[in-house]
A and B are shown apart, each in its own frame.
Chain A
Amino acid sequence: MAQELEKSTEITRIEPSGSWARFDLKDVWKYRELLYFLAVRDVKIRYKQTAIGIAWAVLQPVLTTAIFTVLFSNFARFETKDVPYPLFALSGLMIWLFVHTAITTASNSFVNNANLVTKVYFPRLIVPLAATLAGLADLLVSLMILVILMIYYGINLTAHIWLAPVFLFLGIAQTVAFGTLFSALNVRFRDVKFALPFGLQIWMLASPIFYSSAILSEKWRLIFAINPLVGILEGFRAAVFGTPFDWTIIGISCVSIVILLLVALIVFKQMEDSFADLI
């Protein structure tokens, strides 16, 4: 035993927080198992004590798609080229529902896990990350519905389908950025709780979920693309339905995502040391 102890070289140094703390992503990697267990926990408890359980994960996208289809392909027609409207709507909605749920749960994640934050050490980034990743289970269910619907409508896959996961990944990245940012701000400013639902509503209207960005003029479309969801949704649809890619729009959105991620990490890093004292 003594020998075993001698071997240990792990040194924990505890100091006041510096003004520019390093990004300690290695520490997050070290705690990846905790990230996994917390995400699994969130998935498992999401539909506990509901009568129909996991069926909610199916019903939410299906019902919303149905409503949108009735509204926007019958009463107010939105041009979606060769893509059947239900497919078009579902492909946008599944990403939106993930973004919406994940950002909402992530922003409340510290408040909901206050007991963890005040009693144990682990990289704080794990908490909003786990909340975001837990949303992937629902996304997976929606994805399966999309596949079934595509088979039903006889959509042929093109060579670009391999890009679909890339755009989903970009969607996750931007969700992580927003979720992390709001989770940190929410510890200090509970205003987030009130402002977020409002912001999400506006964001939904400003994103090409139930309409195509093709309805905008060329110039406006570029400004529109600052919204990272624009590039993600357009890119994902192009990859899945084999329609042409608008790389300018996708490029602008990608730059947005990178900037967002950096801002989120910097804000988070600045605030995380005080979480246990503030929460």
Chain B
Amino acid sequence: MQAIKVENLSKLYYLGGGRSDSLRDALASFVRQPKTKAKQELWALRDVNFTVERGETLGIIGHNGAGKSTLLKILSRITKPSSGAAEIYGRVGSLLEVGTGFHNELSGRENIYLNGAILGMKRREIEHKFDEIVAFSEVEKFLDTPVKQYSSGMYMRLAFAVAAHLEPEVLIVDEVLAVGDVSFQKKCLNKMKDVSREGRTVLFVSHDMSAITRICSRAIALDKGGVILDGEATRVVRDYLSSSLGISAERDFTGDVSNAPASEFVRLKRVRIVNEHGETSGSHDIRRKIGIEATYEATQGGQILLPNFQIYNQDRVQLFTVQDISREWHRRVKEKGEYTSTVWIPANFMAEGSFSVNFAVVTYLPSMRVHFNAVEVAGFDVVDSIEGDTARGDFAGKMDGVIRPILDWETSFNG
């Protein structure tokens, strides 16, 4: 029995001059011929085909921008495809976010009803499961308190509790497991496993490869809007990680000088993420150092030009900013010519996940000036192994924290 059938599903977005934001533009393009503004087409999905059997748990992996979110949005009926079709057999429940529609001013009780209704539950169904939801969330005492007074942990637990009691035949989940403390996560994972054991179909998108292999029997990998790998979950994850699917481990502007980030003093030529051997790579073992390299041209010379990288994780949390404060270049004027600057992120420092890099060139002396800041100019993944020699030790679950350093320990036996 099939649960989901996806046929030639495609979604086209127009970027830039594609649509008019103001009435004036729309009217103008209605009256005159539309100006030939650079209208950039972007196929977020292109001819995607797959089927999911009833009771199967399918994991979907891929870099940011590979089309995962678009696929989920189409299957959740939030947006329409541009062409192709999909059919889902059975009641669909989709969780693209935990706590959608929660209102800060309303009490926990009120939010359970509101959120339940938003997720498509009937009022009677919510009443029926109310006590279960409250017990699962562990916030009994604060049911009549506005949720704005909840701690973020309580808030997420309540939100997940409602979502976990949605009982659709086909469940679509996007990265919602990254909530709460470890014991609560275990509870959530078990709930997901129960769902699939009960013969329901689950579609699960995550950046967390270990969660995918633990929960899913099968996985597909997306890249540039298409399915590139499809098969048993552990095999797909392994193949995906070993392939160099680096979305943008390298960005080269030398063929497109007019679009290169630049000021009158400096122009960006290239940004790459490299491994310890200097090879471009989008996927890095947590136990190896990672190099971020930028090549830029001082077009006039005579300025102090400091390279500056900003690293973000997939939750858009800025992990750190790093700039050249080396004694050599810190206050030294750069002559006209090409420069390559590399910064090395040590091994066992980043947590696992997907990261994006902004690159800026900045001058502080004599006065502060940001020449350009190339946002999300490159990206890379960090993968943690489970061989016991990383910070995770023998723990195989999902680890919290935005960094994952190995630190020195001292333990003394005091009798």
Contact = CB atoms under 8 A, between A and B. Distances in A.
Interface stretch (B45-53, B69-77, B327-335, B341-349): B69-77
A16 B101 contact: no
Contacts of B105: 44-45, 48-49
A51 interface: no
Interface stretch (A2-10, A138-146, A199-207): A2-10
A121 B76 contact: yes
Nearest to B102: A115
A218 interface: no
Interface residues of A, number: 40
B94 A121 contact: yes
B80 A12 contact: no
B90 A118 contact: no
Contact of A121 (B78, B91, B103): B78
Nearest to A6: B1
Contact of B118 (A10, A15, A120): A120
Contact of B85 (A15, A33, A117): A15
Interface in B51-73: 54, 73
B114 A276 contact: no
A205 B123 CA distance: 43
A273 B22 CA distance: 19
Interface in A174-204: 188-191
Contacts, number: 118
A16 B85 CA distance: 7
Contacts of B87: 11-14
A118 B78 contact: yes
Interface string B80-100: 111111111111101011001
Q: Is the interface of B mostly helix, strand, loop or mixed?
A: loop
Given A5-B54, A5-B169, A278 B19 contact: yes
A13 B89 CA distance: 9
A16 B45 CA distance: 13
Interface residues of B, number: 49
Contacts of A12: 77, 87-88, 92
Contacts of A10: 89-91, 169
B153 interface: no
B152 interface: no
A150 B92 CA distance: 53
Contacts of B106: 41, 44-45
A36 B120 CA distance: 13
B26 interface: yes
Contacts of B24: 191
A71 B74 CA distance: 57
Interface in A119-177: 119-122
Interface in A24-39: 33-34, 36-38
Nearest to B84: A16
Interface string B186-230: 000000000000111000000000000000000000000000000
B83 A33 contact: no
B101 A116 contact: yes
Interface in A46-65: 48-49
Contact of A33 (B84, B123, B199): B123
Contacts of A116: 100-101, 118
B122 A120 contact: no
B150 interface: no
A277 interface: yes
A17 interface: yes
A113 B100 CA distance: 10
B100 A191 contact: no
A37 B117 contact: yes
A76 interface: no
B199 A5 contact: yes
Contacts of B21: 188-190
A5 B85 CA distance: 23
Nearest to A35: B117
Contact of B198 (A1, A14, A36, A273): A1
B3 to A, nearest CB: 9
A122 B118 contact: yes
A120 B19 contact: no
Interface in B112-126: 113-114, 117-120, 122-123
30 contacts: A1-B198, A1-B199, A5-B169, A8-B169, A10-B89, A11-B87, A11-B89, A15-B81, A15-B85, A16-B81, A16-B82, A16-B84, A33-B122, A36-B117, A41-B114, A44-B110, A45-B105, A45-B106, A48-B105, A49-B105, A118-B73, A118-B78, A119-B78, A119-B96, A120-B76, A189-B21, A189-B23, A191-B22, A276-B73, A276-B79
